[in-house]
């Protein structure tokens, strides 16, 4: 048989397999939501154009707030709009709380940790992590003091610029990372520490990869991509180095552990590990500790530092907004004392600005994929158990039915008619439900204290013409590969 005929026959067999797989997957459990027709083997790859949230927002307009796309031969249900997301993630949290397999994460974590976990392991580790972070002072004075200390170091670093232009990104990343380091390792690092610099490089490289088309291809075709050369191999090697660093920290903590005075997250985990020694089944092994530490670093550094970086950019672009925040800070906090969490209730405009910054930036426009834990009847559709679910957070934050001016930066979205701060259920920067970001409390503290401490001391100015800054384009850059820009921090007169 000629080679061409063999290729045609092979393609037809693959097509037959795909069509039978697709037909089988739709049988027995009712109907999936509507969506674009998939191609053989490729599914809706042509519709999955980066950035995905843009493609899915367009499909939402065509097919409605619940639709299906095929990633290769696998169906994925996308949820849009605050009403649908809250219904799924909060009201039906048991059915939608599974974590879908993300091959990149699965390869890196080997099934350990929280990010890619499910079942009893995930439940126990999540409960322990939340409890431990509370014990370390999440939302309490101890964490507030850690953040205030880093805010002071940040202010000193900015003061040394003497009003000259500088890139705030590395300073913010180090400040946020040191908060995590103090909570997890019990240590803060100087900016010139080589291990610290390598840690930040690996995390930045990983986040850049995770948002790339290369990572999307790996997640769809992992069975093939795993054996091919490419960017993913470099990321896997870097991740191995990160694990080696964390294991060294664990070994050091174990040799110096004082059971009566645990200082940080690793100490608390090791104490729990000792309590469960001898148990036939325990989730508190070293591999879960290493994976959990990775989860805290990767989830807690870049997202928070990028949000603060964007906040400084927006405040520099809108000097009238910055001036109003200055006036409110001067009236409530003054200059003699540092901003504190207790001040938030008396800073409605500042609070509204920070909430609007998070809505408008929409830094995580798509939540990590969920999966249905059982056959699920939802809003007229029957979604099979194990179906991948993508909550489209961007559809919530730019919904014209929920926001007066969704495409504009408008602090008034979070103020009532009397100028008091109002909370909006239609804002979900940390997602919602059981899979809501564990670090929400810490991130909220960091964003508030870092921004207010800087504005207490400085007036921020862009190096370029503020009118030439297109925030929509810059917002996409922040979500993608990150953005470097320069500003001046002019010391405010006493």
Sheet containing 388-392: order of strands: 66-71, 74-80, 388-392, 370-371, 98-99
SS3 of residue 205 by DSSP = helix
| Antiparallel, parallel or unpaired: β 370-371 and 98-99 | antiparallel
What gap in Å lies between CA 437 and CA 115, rounded to an integer? 10
4 burial type by CB count under 10 A (0-12 exposed, 13-18 middle, 19+ buried)? exposed
| Antiparallel, parallel or unpaired: β 376-378 and 381-383 | antiparallel
* Cα-based distances in Å from 325 to 455, 460, 466: 8, 12, 18
* Cα-based distances in Å from 426 to 70, 94, 326: 28, 21, 28
Question: Can you name the residues that pair with 370 across neighbouring β-strands?
Answer: 99, 389
Binding residues: 437
Helix pair 348-361, 440-457: axis angle to 10 deg? 120
Binding residues for heme: 437
What gap in Å lies between CA 396 and CA 53, rounded to an integer? 11
> The tokens 């995905």 sit on which residue?
52
* Cα-based distances in Å from 190 to 174, 184, 194: 9, 16, 9
What gap in Å lies between CA 425 and CA 382, rounded to an integer? 27
What gap in Å lies between CA 99 and CA 371, rounded to an integer? 5
What gap in Å lies between CA 358 and CA 307, rounded to an integer? 7
């Amino acid at each position: 048989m000629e080679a061409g005929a063999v290729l045609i026959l092979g393609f037809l067999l693959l097509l037959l397999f795909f069509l039978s797989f697709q037909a089988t997957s739709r049988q027995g459990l009712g109907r999936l939501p509507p969506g674009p027709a998939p191609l053989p083997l490729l599914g809706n790859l042509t519709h999955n154009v980066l950035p995905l949230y843009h493609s899915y927002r367009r499909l939402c307009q065509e097919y409605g707030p619940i639709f299906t796309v095929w990633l290769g031969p696998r169906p994925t249900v996308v949820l849009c709009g605050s009403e649908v997301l809250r219904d799924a993630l909060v009201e039906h949290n048991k059915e939608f709380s599974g974590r879908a397999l993300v091959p990149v994460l699965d390869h890196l974590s080997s099934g350990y940790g929280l990010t890619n976990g499910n079942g009893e392991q995930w439940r126990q580790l999540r409960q322990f992590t939340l409890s431990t972070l509370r014990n370390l002072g999440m939302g309490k004075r101890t964490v507030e003091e850690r953040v205030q200390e880093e805010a002071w170091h940040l202010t000193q670093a900015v003061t040394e610029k003497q009003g000259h232009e500088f890139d705030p990104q590395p300073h913010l990343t180090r400040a946020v990372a040191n908060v995590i380091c103090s909570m997890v390792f019990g240590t803060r690092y100087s900016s010139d520490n080589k291990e610290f610099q390598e840690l930040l490089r690996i995390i930045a490289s990983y986040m850049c990869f995770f948002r790339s088309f290369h990572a999307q291809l790996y997640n769809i075709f992992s069975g093939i991509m795993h054996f091919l050369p490419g960017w993913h191999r470099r990321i896997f090697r870097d991740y191995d180095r990160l694990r080696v660093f964390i294991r060294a920290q664990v070994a050091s903590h174990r040799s110096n552990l004082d059971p009566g005075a645990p200082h940080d997250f690793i100490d608390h985990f090791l104490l729990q590990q000792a309590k469960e020694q001898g148990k036939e089944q325990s989730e508190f092994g070293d591999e879960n500790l290493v994976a959990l530490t990775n989860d805290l670093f990767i989830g807690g550094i870049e997202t928070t530092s990028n949000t603060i970086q964007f906040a400084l950019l927006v405040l520099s672009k809108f000097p009238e907004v910055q001036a109003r925040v200055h006036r409110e800070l001067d009236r409530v906090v003054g200059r003699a004392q540092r901003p504190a969490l207790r001040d938030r209730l008396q800073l409605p405009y500042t609070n509204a600005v920070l909430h609007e910054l998070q809505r408008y930036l929409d830094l995580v426009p798509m939540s990590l994929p969920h999966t249905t834990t059982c056959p699920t009847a939802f809003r007229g559709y029957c979604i099979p158990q194990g179906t991948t679910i993508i909550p489209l957070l961007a559809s919530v934050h730019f919904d014209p039915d929920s926001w007066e001016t969704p495409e504009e930066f408008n602090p008034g979205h979070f103020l009532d008619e009397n100028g008091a701060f109002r909370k909006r259920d239609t804002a979900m920067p940390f997602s919602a439900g059981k899979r809501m970001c564990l670090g929400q409390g810490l991130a909220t503290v960091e964003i508030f204290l870092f921004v207010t401490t800087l504005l207490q001391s400085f007036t921020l100015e862009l190096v370029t013409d503020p009118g030439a800054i297109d925030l929509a384009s810059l917002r996409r850059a922040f979500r993608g590969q990150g953005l470097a820009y320069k500003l001046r921090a002019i010391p405010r007169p006493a």
